[in-house]
Amino acid sequence: MIKTFDVVIVGAGGAGLRAAVEIPKEYSCAVISKVYPPRSHTGTAQGGVCAALGNMEDDSWENHAFDTVKGSDYLGDQDSIEVMCRDAIRAIIELEHMGMPFSRNEKGQIAQRKFGGHTKPADPNDPYSNRLPVMRSCYSADRTGHVMLHTLFENSIKNQVTFFSEYFATDLLIENGVCKGVVAMDIATSELTVFQAKSVLFATGGNGRIFRITSNAHVGTGDGMALVYRAGLPLEDMEFYQFHPTGLWKLGILVSEAARGEGGILKNSSGERFMERYAPTVKDLAPRDMVSRAIITEIREGRGIRGSDGTDYVYLDVSHLGKELIDEKLPEITGFARTYLGVEPTKEPIPIQPTAHYAMGGIPTNADCEVLMNEMGETVKGLYAAGECACVSVHGANRLGTNSLLDLVVFGRRGGKAIAEFLKHADFQPVDESAADNSRRIIDAVMNSTGGEKIAALRTELQNSMMELCGVFRNEEGLKKMIEILGGLRERSRSVSIQDKGKVFNTELLGALELQNMLDNAEATVFGAYARNESRGAHTREDHPKRDDVNWMKHTFAFRKNSSYPELKYKPVVVTRYQPMERKY
């Protein structure tokens, strides 16, 4: 079946829906999503979305940009960061106008609170003076992502977007540098549809499921990145994967930084507030990469607590904040601790450990969300990406908390605008039913395979080894080993077979397709990490502990090759006003 739309957006999280809202009504717009839109991962975001509104204290977008550049460990492209931080204020006000319910301050304005890595200079005239935490994160209790996702879903309904919910994208159609559409499978029937489109925007979210402990939903298998990668386009900076310091022990469910923003503190086995040693000024509110390393270091040096599952954790203590504040500002996350660990956060500390959280890397784009086809910055006509699956790059080597939800609305809108502009002169490219052949071949291979390899076994091995060998700390030996493991998994994945041979809602088939996508994501991640002989942001090489600005102020572009080794190329970082300096907090 062929369906034709001016725009097809793949992904109905914050980025996809924000783009959809921007498409003028005269163009037909389809949004494809493998889950119902309000079930997208954006809904799990808790802490907040930042903008220098200055509702609680003086602040400026320049402060925000400085923090983002520094937080990125100078790998973020400063021109794009300026675009984002400057536009943040308008973007948040716009969400409010769309109906998003925010918590409010006494003046009735959007309330703001502190969040890791967000600071302002003690001397407003000197950005290099001592920096103190600032209230910049706008929030709605600890359900910010949930209400944002719902608000955008509501506005897409108002905008009469056509939804294809529970459709799974299986292929991206590109010819001679021009995008022609995508192929997607209706999960309810397994039928393949060719979506012919003048423009396609990917907003498929992250890939945290390639790691064992993750805050990401099960849908976070990096599908969009994999489709782009397989279409011969590069993935950028995939080695930069953020581990959030505070995941619930064993489960990885996130305990938002908002808990520390409100005054929660991290403690080791002897009850010491260890962050004082690692980040004397901002302490528990240091950026995530630093806090995650600090936690693992505490554990390695014997100051963690051994859990019943054999893994170690430290504590996040919010009990001193009082029941009232906890119930008002952190109801959801303290509820998780209660439900899943049986811990009462108003009385006792919460066991936590770092959890795989956010992909800084992804599909390379420029600030108008146009997808780059190479490290020279040439773009694919008609193809766009936004949100966590994209890499602009505004987050560089380490994303600051609350900057992702912001990224979604700023770049989702910019993508929508760029598409609207593009559509004024764009034409459909010819496609026919055969465009689905490639997807059909892959699906038939899985359905007919008698190979006997199990999805779960391969997936678990991938997740365990990525966690161990390509996690918070990495080194050459481990990464080499990971490359070997990956090769083996790739080989075995060809003989995956499934029990469900039906066409109706075949989630086992989806599992097999997602596994392929995860392997592609892991490949780009591991090879990027292996090549990068330095430590920067979330990428920490024990054998190369220093940041190397002479050789590595550049973005990795990984291209899939038919051999098992991707080809790596590099693109210099854009530096405008902030010269790299040592990152101390």
Partner 1 sequence: MDVQLKILRYNPEKDTEPYFQDFTVRGVSDDWRLLDVLQEIKWKMDGTLTYRFSCAHGICGSDGMKINGRNRLACSLLLKDLNTNKPITVEPLPSLPIIKDLVVDMSSFYDKYEVVKPYLINNTPPPPNGERLQSNEDAEKLFESAKCILCACCTTSCPSTWTNENYLGPAAMLKAYRFIYDTRDEAGNERMDILDTPDGIWRCHTIFNCIEACPKEINITWHLSQLKKKISSREI
Ligand X SMILES: Cc1cc2nc3c(=O)[nH]c(=O)nc-3n(C[C@H](O)[C@H](O)[C@H](O)COP(=O)(O)OP(=O)(O)OC[C@H]3O[C@@H](n4cnc5c(N)ncnc54)[C@H](O)[C@@H]3O)c2cc1C
Q: Which residues bind partner 1 (CB under 8 A)?
A: 35-36, 38-41, 43-44, 93, 96-99, 101-111, 140-141, 143, 146-147, 150-151, 154-155, 157-158, 188, 217-219, 251, 253, 332, 336, 339-342, 454-456, 498-500, 502-508, 511
- Residue from 39, 113, 136, 288 carrying the catalytic annotation: 288
Helix %, strand %, coil % for the chain, to 5?
Answer: 35, 25, 40
- Which residue lies nearer to ligand X by CB, 10 or 380? 10
Give, to the nearest 10 degrees, the angle between helix 507-531 and helix 476-493: 150
Residues 165-184 that bind ligand X (CB under 6 A): 167-169
**CB-closest chain residue to ligand X:** 13
Which residue among 12, 360, 458, 524 contacts ligand X (CB under 6 A)?
Answer: 12
Interaction between residue 216 and ligand X (CB under 6 A) = yes
Type of residue at 41: H
Q: Which stretch binds ligand X (CB under 6 A): 41-49, 152-160, 285-293, 427-435?
A: 41-49
* 379 binds ligand X per the rule CB under 6 A: no
Between 151 and 429, CB nearer to partner 1: 151
Biggest alpha carbon distance in the chain?
69
CB of 372 to partner 1, least distance (A): 30
Q: CB-wise, 254 or 553, nearer to ligand X?
A: 254
Tokens 């309000």 correspond to 38
Task: Give which of partner 1, ligand X, none residue 168 binds (C-beta under 5 to 8 Å, depending on kind).
Answer: ligand X
* CA dist., res. 361 & res. 229, Å (int): 13
Give the one entry of ligand X, partner 1, none that residue 388 binds, where binding means its C-beta sits below a cut-off of 5 to 8 angstroms depending on kind. ligand X
Q: Lay out the site mask for ligand X across 398-417 (x = CB under 6 A, - = otherwise).
A: ---xxxxx--x---------
Q: At what angle do helices 403-423 and 14-22 cross, to 10 degrees?
A: 30
- Pairing of the two strands 29-33 and 2-10: parallel
Q: Does 42 bind ligand X (CB under 6 A)?
A: yes
**C-beta of 186 vs 239, nearer to ligand X:** 186
Asked if 333 and 258 touch (Cβ cutoff 8 Å), the reply is yes
Q: Does 241 bind ligand X (CB under 6 A)?
A: no
Tell which phi-psi region holds residue 222, choosing left (phi > 0), alpha (psi between -120 and 50) or beta.
left
Which helix (DSSP H) or strand (DSSP E) does residue 95 occupy?
helix 78-98
Compute the distance between CA of residue 556 and CA of residue 182 in angstroms, rounded to an integer. 26
**Cβ closest to partner 1, residue 88 vs residue 265:** 88
32 interacts with, out of partner 1, ligand X, none, CB within 5 to 8 A per kind = ligand X
Return the residue of 256, 334, 398, 535 that touches ligand X, per CB under 6 A: 256
Strand partners, 174: 179
- Does 288 participate in catalysis according to the annotation? yes
Of the ranges 154-162, 260-268, 339-347, 397-405, which one interacts with ligand X (CB under 6 A)? 397-405
Query: Which phi and psi (to 5°) does residue 554 adopt?
Result: -150, 155
Q: 470 touches which of partner 1, ligand X, none (CB within 5 to 8 A by kind)? A: none
Residue 506 as a binder of ligand X (CB under 6 A): the answer is no
Q: What six digits make up the tokens of 20?
A: 């959809």
Q: Which is nearer to ligand X, 118 or 541 (CB)?
A: 118
CA distance 328 to 234: 45
The Cα 431–Cα 418 span in angstroms is 24
Q: Does 518 bind ligand X (CB under 6 A)?
A: no
| Minimum CB–partner distance for residue 247 and ligand X (Å) | 9
From partner 1, ligand X, none, which one binds at residue 205 (CB under 5 to 8 Å depending on kind)? ligand X
**Three-state DSSP class for 150?**
helix
Interaction partner, residue 38 (ligand X, partner 1, none; CB < 5-8 Å by kind): partner 1
Binding to ligand X in span 343-362, by CB under 6 A: 357-358
Q: Which is nearer to ligand X, 44 or 196 (CB)?
A: 44
Residue 402, binding choice from ligand X, partner 1, none, Cβ under 5 to 8 Å by partner class: ligand X
| 273: amino acid identity, one letter | R
Residue 525 to residue 375: CA distance in whole angstroms: 17
Beta bridge partners of 284: none
- Contact criterion met (CB below 8 Å) for 197 and 180: yes
Q: How far is the CB of 285 from ligand X (least distance, A)?
A: 14
Q: How far is CA 142 from CA 61, 109, 248, in A?
A: 24, 18, 16
Name which of 69 and 337 has its Cβ closer to partner 1: 337
Please, which residues bridge with residue 3 across strands?
195
SS3 390: strand
Nearest partner of 222 among 408, 385, 389, judged by Cα: 389
Q: Name which of partner 1, ligand X, none residue 157 binds, using a CB cut-off of 5 to 8 Å depending on partner kind.
A: partner 1
Q: Which residues of 46-82 are buried (b: 16+ CB within 10 A; e: fewer)?
A: bbbbbbbbbbbeebbbbbbbbbbbbbbbbbbbbebbb
Query: Which residues of 362-463 form beta strands (DSSP E)?
Result: 363-364, 370-372, 379-385, 390-391
Contacted entry of partner 1, ligand X, none for residue 101, CB cut-off 5 to 8 Å set by kind: partner 1
- Which of the choices ligand X, partner 1, none does residue 204 contact, using the CB cut-off of 5 to 8 A by kind? ligand X
Nearest residue to 416 via CA among 368, 380, 371, 378 = 368
Which stretch in 212-220, 343-351, 524-532, 567-575 sits in contact with ligand X by CB under 6 A? Answer: 212-220
458, 483, 457, 456: which is closest to 469 by C-alpha?
483
Q: Which is nearer to ligand X, 405 or 431 (CB)?
A: 405
Backbone CA torsion sign across 86, 89, 95, 98? negative
How many angstroms separate the CA atoms of 302 and 268, rounded?
A: 9
- Which of 96/461 has CB closer to partner 1? 96
Minimum Å gap between C-beta 454 and partner 1 is 8
Among positions 522-581, residues that touch ligand X (CB under 6 A) are: none
CA 555 vs. chain centroid, Å, equals: 17
Q: Which amino acid is located at 584 in the chain?
A: K
Out of 8, 9, 20, 33, the only residue in the binding site for ligand X (CB under 6 A) is 33
Q: Which residues bind ligand X (CB under 6 A)?
A: 10-16, 32-35, 40-42, 44-49, 144-145, 167-169, 203-206, 215-216, 219, 223-224, 254, 256, 357-358, 387-389, 401-405, 408
Catalytic residues: 288
